[in-house]
Structures are given as structure tokens and as C-alpha cells.
Amino acid sequence: MTHLHAGLSAETTEKARLELNENPDTLHQDIQQVRDMIVTRPDIGFLRTDDDFILRFLRARKFDQVETFRLLAQYFQFRQQNLDMFQSFKVDDPGIKRALMDGFPGVLETPDQHGRKILILFASNWDQSRNSFTDILRAILLSLEVLIENPELQINGFILIIDWSNFSFKQASKLTPNILKLAIEGLQDSFPARFGGIHFVNQPWYIHAMYTIIKPFLKDKTRKRIFLHGNNLNSLHQLIQPECLPSEFGGTLPPYDMGIWARTLLGPDYNDETEYTLTYDALHVRENCGGGGGGDKDMMK
């Protein structure tokens, strides 16, 4: 077995073979063929091209090498086109830190029944005087960067649940088409994660209207994975077992502690508003973040 499969369970290795067309015998060849395409895009700075990094893109695109390279190129192109978003892309950046401390995103410790990591957003917690939408998006992207280091999650993927309870029309008015498009480009088109479902619960009518606005920007595959449950938690439970969910979503787990993920990234004294020294690079040694392995710190500058 290649070192790229180290730490994977036999079940997940088999899942990668069946669902993602992953073949351990041709893994290095597949990676190299994607790497060889880099010369075709001299306009893009590919700041990281190691085997582990390219492999997560192959898994995200089921080992279709052309689609894999397209996603890899879009990943770096998105960062080049939005330099301000990634100028200080680390947990001690004040904007990212505030968003994390306010629960954007929440990350459940228990995966769903398919091994997918569950991210949750309580939309009404968005204090628009405290957090910009861009900083919330940056905090979500940084969290995904940490989580995607885990090869099991590269294969199993993620679930996103957004609870719109008490999300006001005034708050919704700040969700302009431009910033929603930015989020779609960052998450759907430019990040190597497999999203198995995006679930809206308790959404008011104006969120339905917002969804109509963003629908043209969504790929067919993405549209099919967005579920609008309203107040019907039973339909949510048909897709995600209650044993995997906190009580806010009708699950059997205790209420979600909004500080869990922030403490994981920021350290035990995360309530201290002084400057932090822990950066994204140091997170690679934190096993409880959901993954290990090295990274190119220049990529995150």
C-alpha cells in the first residue's frame, strides 16, 4: 500500500475504489499526469504541487484528470483574484478569529452515518456590526483547509446544515448577489471537498427568494444536493440520522457548544482578545483538528 493511503481504514480505502475510481497501483501516475498539466497555465501560480495536495483534488473529482486539473487551477486562480481575502489567512487574523468565536462555522465531532463531517451555521448569530460576510467565508474556508488534511474526509466528504431560525429580513438584505456569488465560487468551484448535502432548515420566505437568485450560479450536481426542509425535521432525519445531530436539529446529541471548533483552532484561552501566535501552519500538528500532514505555508500567506 502506498504511503498516501497510510491511516485510511480498509472500509474507506474500498469506498475510494468503488466511488472515486481510486486505484492504489496507478496513484502516483495519476498524480503526475495532473502535475504535468501545470505548464499549460503559466498565468497561474501553483504554490503547492506535492502528491498529498494533488491527491485531494483527484478525490474531489473522482480521478477525472482533466476535471481535477481544472479544479486545481481554479483553486489558485480564486486566491489570485481575491488577494485581500487571503492576505492574512490564519486563525489569529482578527476578522477570522471573531467569526470562529461566533460559531462560523460550527463543526460537529460526530460524523454522519456515512462518515461525512457535519458543518453547521446558525444564521441568526451573524452580528453584522461585528462580522463581515467575507470574514465568515474566510473562516469557513480556513476551517475546510484544516479539515481536508484528513484523508478520510477527502473520501467521505462533508455535510452543511444552515439553520435560518430568527434570521431577519434586515440580515438577509446584506446577502447581495455579489457576495453570494463569491461564496459559490469559493466553495463550489474552487475547493477540493465533496459536499454530500447542503440542508436549509427553518428558512423564511425571503431565503427561498435568495435561493432563486443564486440558483443560476449553481451546478446541476450542487442543486440536487440542496434540501430545503423548512420546519420539517423529519425530512432532515431521513437523510442524516438523529444520532448524529445535536438537539437543535431534533437529534439525540446534547446542544451544540458553539465554542468547540473555535477552541480547537484558537487554543484553550480563545476568549482572550489579545493577539494570537498560532497560525494555520501550526495546526498541522493538532490531531484533534481532523488531520495531520504537512503543508506549504507560503500558500496560506
Ordered DSSP codes for 267-290:
-TTTT--SPP---GGGGGG-GGGT
Q: Which amino acid is at 272?
A: D
- Per residue in 185-195, pLDDT (tens digit) is 999 999 999 99
Q: Which residues of 203-232 are buried (b: 16+ CB within 10 A; e: fewer)?
A: bbebbeebbeebeeebeeebeebbbebeee
C-alpha cell at 277: 501566535
CA distance 130 to 133: 10
User: Above 80 in pLDDT, residue 119?
Assistant: yes
**pLDDT more than 90, % of the chain:** 74
Q: List Cα–Cα distances, 121 to 4, 140, 143, 151, in angstroms.
A: 32, 10, 13, 24
- Tens of pLDDT, residue by residue over 34-59, are 999 999 999 999 999 999 999 999 99
Quote the cell numbers at residue 224.
440536487
Q: What is the mean pLDDT of residues 201-229?
A: 91
Alpha-helical segments (H) within 186-272 = 205-214, 220-224, 233-237, 260-266
Q: What is the mean pLDDT of residues 220-226?
A: 92
pLDDT given for residue 283 in this prediction: 39
Spatial CA neighbour of 194 closest among 236, 136, 144: 144
pLDDT score at 295: 38
**Cis amide linkage into residue 105, ω under 30° from 0:** yes
pLDDT over 70 (residue 29)? yes
Percentage above 70 pLDDT, the chain? 88
Euclidean distance between CA atoms 268 and 270, whole angstroms? 6
Cα distance between residue 36 and residue 7, in whole Å: 27
Q: How confident is the model at residue 217 (pLDDT cuts 50, 70, 90)?
A: confident
- Look at 14-18, 214-218, 234-238 and tell me which has the smallest mean pLDDT: 214-218
d(Cα 148, Cα 60) in Å, to the nearest integer?
Answer: 11
Pairing of strands 195-201, 158-163: parallel
281 Cβ partners below 8 Å, 6+ apart?
295, 297, 300
Mean pLDDT of the region 133-147: 96
Residues in the chain: 301
The pLDDT value recorded for residue 264 is 92
**pLDDT tens-digit profile of 68-86?**
999 999 999 999 999 999 9
**Which pLDDT score is estimated for 216?**
87
The residue-averaged pLDDT of 106-132 equals: 94
Nearest-Å Rg of the Cα atoms of the chain is 19
Tell me which residue of 25, 1, 6 sits closest to 292, measured CA to CA: 6
State residue 289's pLDDT score: 43
Closest by CA position to 51, among listed 105, 100, 5? 5
> Which residues are within 8 A (CB) of 161 and not within 5 positions of it... i.e. 6 or more apart?
118, 119, 120, 121, 199, 201, 236, 240, 249
